[in-house]
Amino acid sequence: MKILVCISKSPDTTSKIAFTDGNTKFDENGVQYIVNPYDEWYALVRGLELKEAHGGTVTTITVGTAADDPTIRKALAIGADDAVRIDAEAKDAYFVAKQISEYAKDQGYDLILTGKETIDYNGSQVGGMVAADLDLPFLSLASKLDVDGSSATLELDITGGTKVVKADLPAVVSCAKGMAEQRIPNMRGIMAARTKPLNVVAPAGVEELTSFTSYSMPDAKSECKYVDPDNMDELVQLLHNEAKAI
């Protein structure tokens, strides 16, 4: 089975979020990048488990610059066989998706796995766009994925529950919590990752359709109002009369 896992980087979840250049650029000063948690914990690890069970290969693909290489090596350390980096700054989701589908279109992947969303821009767009480009089924927000021959059985999140579905391969799957357990790379994996192939590929000519023109921060929260733990009637009154929440 040939599996392609889309890997993006995102700022460490504890990063301070600030902007520079008149609030037009994300301030990277002191920001540590990690593999986007959904891509790493769920998409990549489930891809590896499927390879371990059925044989095949796991390739990662990233649209990014050399600055993405450390996160790509982390994915290799966790166990991917090889990596592809489309050498371009990731612009909007359309741009990223087109690069991935252009690369993947004649490679014969059985499964293309993405994360549920990137935790910086939270778009949840790339997977659906890749599926549209390649005219493949898109299984959105899967929490379970099993493969049997040429078909996949998945559990998808739906409002207030889950549904079990079947789809023929090849397919694109976006991976959410429940898919797999996080794997910590061991020393052997980290050493092996240094020599695994990381192929840098020139981007296709694609124009982005959208751009972030500026950023802003939410208004500072007003001071917390403390209520005496023995006076829950007061809390209920505040929630009713002041906050109008109940």
Partner 1 sequence: MSVLVYVETANGKIAKNGFEAVFYGKKVADKFGGDVVAVTSGSADDSDLASLGNFGASKVLVNKGLSDADDSQTSKLVLAAAESTGASIIIFSHDLTGKAVAPRISSALKAGMVSGAIDVPSDENGFTCKVNVFSGKAFGHVNVKTDKKVISLLPNSFKPEEGGSPAAVEAFDCDCGSAKVTVVETKTQDGEIPLPEAELVVSAGRGLKGPENWGMVEDLAKELGAATACSRPVADIGWRPHHEHVGQTGVAIRPNLYIAIGISGAIQHLAGVNGSKVIVVVNTDAEAPFFKAADYGIVGDAFEVVPKLVEAVKKFKASNN
Ligand X SMILES: Nc1ncnc2c1ncn2[C@@H]1O[C@H](COP(=O)(O)O)[C@@H](O)[C@H]1O
Ligand Y SMILES: Cc1cc2nc3c(=O)[nH]c(=O)nc-3n(C[C@H](O)[C@H](O)[C@H](O)COP(=O)(O)OP(=O)(O)OC[C@H]3O[C@@H](n4cnc5c(N)ncnc54)[C@H](O)[C@@H]3O)c2cc1C
Number of residues that bind ligand X (CB under 6 A): 25
Please classify residue 120 by burial: count the beta carbons closer than 10 Å to its beta carbon, then call 0-12 exposed, 13-18 middle and 19+ buried: middle
Cβ neighbours for 112, distance < 8 A, ≥ 6 positions apart: 3, 4, 5, 6, 100, 104, 127, 130, 131, 134, 136, 170, 171, 172, 173
Q: What part of residues 38-67 is at the interface with ligand X (CB under 6 A)?
A: 38-39, 43, 61-64
Q: From residue 170, how far is each of 4, 39, 138, 185, 209 by CA, in Å?
A: 11, 19, 10, 29, 28
Whichever of 203 and 227 has its CB closer to ligand X, that residue is 203
Is residue 29 near partner 1 by the rule CB under 8 A?
no
Whichever of 14 and 213 has its CB closer to ligand Y, that residue is 14
Residues 195-214, mask of contacts with ligand Y (x by CB under 6 A): --------------------
Please classify residue 5 by burial: count the beta carbons closer than 10 Å to its beta carbon, then call 0-12 exposed, 13-18 middle and 19+ buried: buried
Q: What's the rounded Cα separation, in Å, for the pair 38 and 218?
A: 25
When computed from its CA atoms, the radius of gyration of the chain, rounded to whole angstroms, is 21
Smallest distance, Å, CB 54 to ligand X? 21
Is residue 185 near ligand Y by the rule CB under 6 A?
no
- Residue from 13, 216, 222, 241 touching ligand Y (CB under 6 A): that is 13
Residues 26-55, mask of contacts with ligand Y (x by CB under 6 A): -----------x------------------
Number of residues that bind partner 1 (CB under 8 A): 79
Is residue 126 near ligand X by the rule CB under 6 A?
yes
Gap between the terminal Cα atoms of the chain:
53
Residues 75-114, mask of contacts with ligand X (x by CB under 6 A): ---------------x--x--x-----------------x
- With b for 16 or more beta-carbon neighbours within 10 A and e for fewer, the 131-143 pattern comes to bebbebebbbbbb
Residue whose pair of structure tokens reads 């920001």 in the numeric block? 31
**Residue 243 interacting entry, from ligand X, partner 1, ligand Y, none, C-beta within 5 to 8 Å by type:** partner 1
**Residue 115 interacting entry, from partner 1, ligand X, ligand Y, none, C-beta within 5 to 8 Å by type:** ligand X
Applying CB under 6 A, the residues found at the interface with ligand Y are 13, 37
Applying CB under 6 A, the residues found at the interface with ligand X are 6-8, 36, 38-39, 43, 61-64, 90, 93, 96, 114-115, 117-118, 121-127
